[in-house]
Amino acid sequence: ISKSRKMLVIEQFQNSKLRELQTKQNYTDVMRYFTGLVRFLISRKKLFGSDAEIMAAQLCLPVTVWINLCDREPEREEEIVALIERHVQSFFKIYGNRK
């Protein structure tokens, strides 16, 4: 997976079809999935907020950046996983169930 992401990053600047695939895989599909997830969690009163798309971006886009960092610097995987865990926990503290 890491090698294919690296190849797409490089080739996206020379091939419009690969650029579209890169955008679809690393942004459009990710945002669609997480926006749906956040809407579902809001409807179930597990999350509280009014803009599911922005909440989804706040949740998932930093994680995708850290995954890309891990691709470039695999020796930092443990550190990056810890950052992702802290990020997700912080997100749910901010938007989570308010009992």
Structural domain boundaries enclosing 43:
2-95
- Per-residue pLDDT of 38-61, as tens digits, reads 999 999 999 999 999 999 999 999
Q: Which of the pair, 77 or 10, is modelled with greater confidence?
A: 77
User: Which pLDDT score is estimated for 44?
Assistant: 94
- Region 9-36: mean pLDDT is 87
Long-range contacts of 64-70 (CB under 8 A, 24+ apart): 64/26, 64/27, 64/30, 68/5, 68/9, 70/2
Does residue 77 carry a pLDDT above 80?
Answer: yes
Tally of CB atoms within 10 A around 87:
16
Q: Which of the pair, 77 or 98, is modelled with greater confidence?
A: 77
Q: How many domains does the chain have?
A: 1
Element (DSSP H or E) covering residue 62? helix 52-72
